[in-house]
């Protein structure tokens, strides 16, 4: 049975881009006779707010969406993330890092899908683990996992290329786990069979496929959908004060009518859907 999920972070109000993502996940599950789950990704320190989590639930109900089972919160799974981190440490695949962003920016020489690739400054060094981030030794991890593939609903079969990211952080200094580790573990725990998310996260799936292999987790299929973008081509974002669903709801707008419009591609003036999936090719 297919099982999808929508997983908002309560660090800002939901906007039309979130509504579109939730509708895609919901409708794919319903069209295939499956389940649609809701997860709150609330481990972003003080930026995660309980009132915004509750507001998100109200926004989704207003759109006419109904989810299956209880709402799950990442903050209830901290022990799971820690256990996975300890397991990877025992495998010799994680190392502590005390580098600041400024130090990394000054030392890095290559760009990856997420920006500058960490140059490995702390790899193999005797580093104080107190307050350190823990990075994945990508070379060792890839060698251990071997060749991996994953399947995207839209883009088709993919050869996993996690090495493009370099030594990613899995246990953060300021949070219990990185997005890569937490999302991978959560989707496995929730029995997600189709991971639905925006095309901007397409490349992240290469890392997630590697983590699934290392931790012996089930391998789902992925569906990276188009994004709602502004006239300049940038996706709608909380940090740029995109109009919120809560404002629309409190102003008396018809939620189910808005959901129908989004499903039919009838978008507000100035907005459009992105084309294709985000990809990355390393520079020579």
Q: What is the CATH number of the domain that holds 61?
A: 3.40.50.620
Query: Nearest 10 degrees: CA dihedral of 162, 167, 170, 173?
Result: -150
> 59-87 burial string, b = 16+ CB within 10 Å, else e?
bbebbebebeeeebbbeebeebbeebbee
Q: What's the pTM value of the predicted model, to 2 decimals?
A: 0.93
Is 42 within the bounds of a domain?
A: yes
The answer to whether residue 280 scores a pLDDT higher than 60 is: no
What is the arithmetic mean of pLDDT over 140-163? 97
274 contacts: CB under 8 Å, gap ≥ 6 = 199, 226, 227, 228, 229, 233, 235
pLDDT digits (tens, 9 = 90+) for 57-67: 999 999 999 99
How many whole angstroms separate alpha carbon 223 and alpha carbon 271?
22
pLDDT of residue 276: 66
Is 97 within the bounds of a domain?
A: yes
Range of the structural domain that residue 96 is part of? 3-273
The answer to whether residue 30 scores a pLDDT higher than 90 is: yes
The answer to whether residue 282 scores a pLDDT higher than 50 is: no
Is 281 within the bounds of a domain?
A: no
Lowest-confidence range among 77-86, 105-114, 181-190, 197-206? 105-114
Angle CA 40–41–47, to nearest 5: 110
pLDDT digits (tens, 9 = 90+) for 118-132: 999 999 999 999 989
Is 279 within the bounds of a domain?
A: no
pLDDT of residue 185: 98
Domain count, the chain: 1
With contact defined as beta carbons under 8 Å apart, do 273 and 236 qualify? no
Adjacency order of strands within the sheet including 94-97: 94-97, 133-136, 169-171
Q: What is the DSSP letter of 235?
A: B
């Amino acid at each position: 049975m297919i099982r999808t999920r929508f997983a908002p972070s309560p660090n800002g109000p939901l906007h039309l881009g979130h509504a579109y993502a939730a509708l895609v996940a919901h409708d794919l599950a319903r069209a295939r006779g499956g389940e649609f789950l809701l997860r709150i990704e609330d481990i972003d320190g003080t930026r995660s707010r309980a009132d915004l989590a509750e507001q998100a639930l109200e926004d989704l109900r207003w759109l006419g969406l109904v989810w299956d089972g209880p709402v799950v919160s990442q903050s209830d799974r901290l022990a799971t993330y820690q256990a996975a981190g300890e397991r990877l440490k025992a495998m010799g695949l994680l190392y502590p890092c005390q580098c600041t962003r400024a130090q990394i920016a000054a030392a890095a020489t290559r760009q990856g899908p997420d920006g500058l690739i960490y140059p490995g400054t702390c790899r193999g060094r005797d580093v104080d683990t107190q307050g350190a981030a823990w990075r994945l030794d990508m070379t060792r991890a890839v060698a251990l996992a071997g060749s991996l593939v994953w399947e995207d609903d839209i883009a088709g079969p993919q050869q996993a290329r996690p090495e493009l990211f370099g030594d990613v952080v899995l246990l953060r200094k300021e949070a219990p786990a990185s997005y890569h580790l937490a999302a991978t573990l959560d989707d496995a725990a929730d029995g997600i069979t189709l991971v639905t998310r925006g095309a901007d996260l397409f490349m992240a799936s290469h890392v997630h496929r590697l983590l699934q292999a290392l931790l012996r987790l089930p391998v789902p299929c992925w569906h990276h959908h188009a994004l709602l973008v502004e006239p300049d081509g940038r996706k709608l974002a909380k940090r740029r004060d995109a109009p919120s669903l809560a404002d629309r709801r409190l102003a008396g707008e018809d939620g189910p009518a808005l959901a129908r419009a989004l499903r039919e591609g009838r978008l507000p003036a100035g907005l459009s859907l992105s084309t294709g999936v985000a990809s990355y090719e390393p520079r020579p």
